[in-house]
Each structure stands twice: as structure tokens, then as C-alpha cells.
Structure 1
């Protein structure tokens, strides 16, 4: 069953179509991968879903409610959270204080915040300043800041960027735990190993158009996807 539906979504910047008639579903409980070359429209799609951009046409339906064009804070209150490509923690505050501030918008209590800290693996860092965290720990904090608003749907925008392979594996384990806790996830990612490991389905964008959708193994054998993104030398 679709938790979120995108229907014929289009967004234009001047003469450039960042998205053109894109339709897709994010099903309740799944991890959906969204891939494509740079400039394909992946982040623009997230921005339209979360209210940072207003689409020129089309609709975004969340739990049977039309949320198209609502401001970001209202969409967050309805249960959609996201991360950004650049982490946005308050460096002069502790991990715990960062999360308590983020939790204010949903009235999340301290015990719930502590549960989130445990879920993302930052128990030993709760009283550390954000400025002292490693890149991996900052990624964990970014996930936690999204989780304390109690989302039903979590959108992850290149959350693996800058991580070494073993660090990415650790963060993948966190993402799988988050999903198993009941949070539906859509992830924009360039690392195909990540997509194959965690995603139930994959959507591929190219120049703002959806060119493929299906199981990871199927999509990675699609000739259009190989030509547009993966390269002829790719072997799924």
C-alpha cells in the first residue's frame, strides 16, 4: 500500500525541466532507492515532496491527503522528515541538546530522545559537542535529528557521502534498524552497493524523467539505465 504518491510532478527552473511528469509510489514499510546521474532531479524531487519547492504541476499525496505546496514545517508535522547532503547540527551544543531542540516541534519527551540516541548508536556521545564528532557520528546525529520528530516517512539525501566503505556499512546497519522500527525510507544514493544491499525497489531518474522502476537487480540490467547512468562496463 502506498504511503506517499507522486503524480505527474513537474518543476521547471527557467528553461530547464528539473522534473517532468514524474510519478512514483513509496510503499508503507519499504526502503525505496532513487538513483540517477548528477542533475537528474533527485534532490528536486525531495524538495518538492517536503515543501521546499512548490511544483509547477502535479500532486504529492501522503496518507491519502494532498500535501502539494504545503510549507516544510506542516509537512514535517504530518510525518515526513528528511536529511540533507550537508549536515546541519549546532556545533556548539551537545548531541543531546541538538536533539532536544529538534524534538520541540513534536513534543518528543526525553525518554523518546534517549531511545533515538540508542537507535542510531550515539549512546556514548550524548554529552559530546557536535563539533567534536567524526563524519560518521555526524551522519548518525543527522539521522537522529530527523527521527525525533517521529516520522512515518524518512527521506535520505546522499547520506553515505564522504564515508569510507566500512563506515558506510555501519550506517547501513543503522538505516536497516530504523526501517525495522517502523519507518518507511526513500534514499537518494550514488553507491550501487548500498542500493543493492538495502533497497526493496529502485526508481531511476534522468534529466528529470523517470526512465526505470523495479527490483534493484532488474533495474541494473536495464539498457536505458546502463546507458544513462551505470556505464556499459557495469555488471549488476
Structure 2
């Protein structure tokens, strides 16, 4: 088993006033040659958008883009004709493929919006762009991981053009559990949304991240009430 620890206070940080963003991996003006990606996981941004502001229309291509709101809501518009509001308890996915333009805006003037912006390298390039968003409230389980993303169109959650599986978990204090990886070439990136948890001998707290690979399973123990995001991705990318 190999691991790499990214404590919350070692992340890149950019505060633009309207946007306060923490970057686990190199992004925009933050560049760390030792933190460019974790396998197919290219971007993990922890963003807070002030009320009445947002990202103007901008392009993407050949990337799988996943948004997980933590609090508040964002209005999404794109060049495929989609207009939607995404909020906590939902997950959004875009396959940028041959190219899309989109915007994200916090229409609530008096409330900030927090969300995770996650990019994955795809396993197929130049696919037709697509958009999807679902509620994950009915998938939630107590003291168990529940899947919110996979490579399969008929599985629970959204799907992506990559051999990736995302799970969320809400655990009460002293709960012990484990996660079994789907593939031998996969790694698991653990991101603590809140709480404190021991993962294979590492103690993680709010917004800490831990990458783990060359193992078939990973053990967890919640040291207090905790919420975790697991991202299983291929470690080898073409």
C-alpha cells in the first residue's frame, strides 16, 4: 500500500473576493509539480461563491466535470441549451467532449454557495457533450458508503466516461468500516468534508485528503461524526 497525504492547510488558495477557492491539485495560478493529479483525478477545488456572483460563460473540452454542492445553490446554463439550478443533495456531471460553454451563478444575493468542482481525465476523447444532474437524497445511507458516480449508465448515481466510482458516507462517532476497490489498477482518494477519521493509520480532519493505491481495500474509523467523499480512479492514464 502506498499513500500520499494532503493536509487542508497545504492546498493552493485563491481569494478573488467573489470566489474563495482551495485547490488540492495544481489549478490556474497555483502550480505544484508534485500535486498535478492523482491518477485520473485532475482537479479537486473547494469553492465558495459569494451571493449575486459566479462564473461567466467559459469553455471546456475533453474532461469529465463533476459538481457536488455543499450548501446554497447555483444556476447552470450551457451551450447545449440546459438551464438548471443545482443545490445541496444533488450531483451534476458534464462530459465536455468535443467542447461546451457554460456558466454558474449564485442568484441568492445574501447567501454564499459552497461546492466541490472535480475534473476527471476521460477514457474516451471527443465524445458528444452531455449534461446530467440528479438528487442523491434517496441514495443516502447511515454509517455506510453510498455510490453517487460510476462508469455504468445503469448503476446508482451519475455516470462518466472513465473507470471511476465516487461514494459519499455519513458516519457517527466510533463507526468502523471499509471500502473495497473495483479494479487492481485503481487508487482511492479520500476527502474529508467534515469530522475526524482514521484511515489506514492516518488521522484526517476537515478538508484533508489522502491518496491510497496498490491495495485492494481501505479501512476507516470515525473518531467523531464525519462526512467523507471517496473517489476511486485509474492510476494509469493515457
TM (norm. structure 1) is 0.33
Return the structure number with greater strand share: 2
Pick 1 or 2: higher relative contact order, CA cutoff 8 A, min separation 6. Answer: 1
TM (norm. structure 2) is 0.33
Return the structure number with greater helix share: 1
